Amino acid sequence: MKVLKETSVLILILANLCLTKASGKAKFVTCGSVVKLVNVDYKTRLHSHDVKYGSGSGQQVSTFFY
């Protein structure tokens, strides 16, 4: 579980860097943001979807396919 949390944080950091580089302006990944990430070396995509935990902030789960 710790690895999953660390990976999620890394993905958000990388997404912020990519958005900033692509647009030339500082943009941030926030609640409601849509982010699509592709690893071009392995041809893999990050996949996320809504998960109903019963209560909370409407969190999402992110996975990748290889």
Could you tell me if 50 and 58 are in contact, meaning their C-beta atoms sit under 8 angstroms apart?
yes
Q: Does the predicted TM-score (pTM) go above 0.75?
A: no
Distance CA 22, CA 16 (A): 10
Question: Tens of pLDDT along 37-64?
Answer: 777 887 778 776 666 666 666 666 666 6
Distance CA 66, CA 19 (A): 24
What residue ranges do the domains of the chain occupy?
2-64
Please name which of 3, 7, 12 lies closest in space to residue 31, comparing C-alpha atoms.
12
Helices (H) then strands (E): counts for the chain: 1, 3
Please name which of 44, 31, 36, 40 lies closest in space to residue 11, comparing C-alpha atoms.
36
